[in-house]
């Protein structure tokens, strides 16, 4: 199968992969749908800088003019930032139509994993993954991120599942799909804005070297699926659980009242939570992404040493 007419890998990323230098994939939904302009562009460029400062090459992913892109220019990041919510949020189901139309698209965890895998990038840093939504027993609202983790061989480093979700059911789903959930320096699943959730992870790992070794074994055995690493938000940026949970409950009630469903749910909830908390949740979101980018770069460097 020739995918070269659909996939474009930047020269910097190509060179790094060819010479066994560390590369970290990044999503672009956070740019277009995660925060307002110009803060979204500033944050995206800062994340790339953190990855470079820690010895790796950033590979921000998106759909640009009908091509799957692994490694964006500053102008392309600016395009996504200015476009905001007018840029389609692209999951797996959206790829055929967006590419055939020559459209742009902001990649979710799912599509970023796909692009990274196609390009040969094995480490991906994001904010939080999607999961099983509250009330999924009646709505069947389960993020495609979980299905992608069950099939695509990429390590995803995040701050846990977004706390707008049903965290218990999300862990159950990942267990069913055979996805290992690892806590970095913790035995408890972090809940995105906060460090604790009351739920246990499968394993605790304390160093980037250990993370890389575990993933290398998975590669060597050609085991299907990815690996989820949950990295707690730094203590100084963690929000008060009572404050954030009240904001989440209020936002979910409004979401149900407005009958918002599907791919619009998460952007609405995150934006509304930011409004309710006076911007505190957005500030925490940015800091946890920076923290994940640093860990991802260090882990990618360790993985290169094993190859």
Active-site annotation, residues: 27, 162
Residue 123 bridge partners (DSSP): 155
CA atoms within 13 A on the CB side of 108: 23
Distance in angstroms (rounded) separating the CA atoms of residues 304 and 54: 14
Calpha distance 294→128 (Å, rounded):
15
- With tokens 């474009």, the residue in question is 8
> What is the Cα–Cα distance from 297 to 76, expressed in whole angstroms?
22
Residues 32 and 40: beta-carbon distance below 8 Å: yes
Q: Which pair of structure tokens corresponds to residue 147?
A: 């299905």
Backbone angles phi, psi at 208, to 5 degrees: -60, -35
């Amino acid at each position: 199968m020739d995918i070269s007419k659909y996939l474009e890998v930047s020269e910097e990323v190509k060179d790094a992969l060819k010479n066994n230098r560390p590369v970290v994939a990044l999503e672009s939904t956070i740019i277009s749908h995660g925060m307002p302009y110009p803060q979204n562009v500033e944050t995206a460029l800062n994340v790339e800088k953190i990855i470079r400062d820690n010895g790796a090459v950033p590979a921000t992913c998106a759909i640009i003019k009908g091509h799957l892109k692994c490694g964006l220019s500053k102008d392309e990041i600016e395009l996504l930032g200015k476009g905001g919510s007018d840029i389609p949020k692209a999951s797996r189901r959206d790829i055929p139509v967006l590419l055939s139309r020559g459209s742009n698209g902001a990649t979710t965890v799912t599509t970023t994993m796909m692009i990274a895998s196609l390009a040969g990038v094995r480490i991906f840093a994001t904010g939080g993954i999607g999961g099983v939504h509250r009330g999924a027993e009646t709505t069947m609202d389960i993020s495609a991120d979980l299905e992608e983790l069950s099939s695509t061989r990429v390590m995803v480093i995040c701050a846990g599942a977004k706390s707008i979700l049903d965290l218990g059911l999300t862990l159950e789903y990942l267990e069913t799909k055979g996805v290992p959930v690892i806590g970095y320096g913790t035995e408890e699943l972090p809940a995105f804005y906060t460090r604790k959730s009351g739920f246990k992870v499968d394993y605790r790992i304390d160093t980037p070297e250990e993370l890389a070794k575990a993933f290398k074994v998975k590669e060597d055995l050609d085991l299907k699926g990815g690996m989820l690493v949950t990295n707690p938000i730094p203590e100084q940026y963690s929000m008060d659980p009572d404050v954030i949970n009240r904001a989440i409950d209020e936002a979910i009630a409004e979401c149900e009242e407005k009958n918002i469903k599907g791919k619009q749910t998460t952007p609405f909830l995150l934006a509304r939570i930011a409004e309710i908390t006076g911007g505190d949740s957005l500030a925490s979101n940015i800091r946890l992404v920076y923290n994940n980018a640093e860990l991802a770069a260090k882990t990618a460097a360790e993985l290169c040493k094993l190859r």
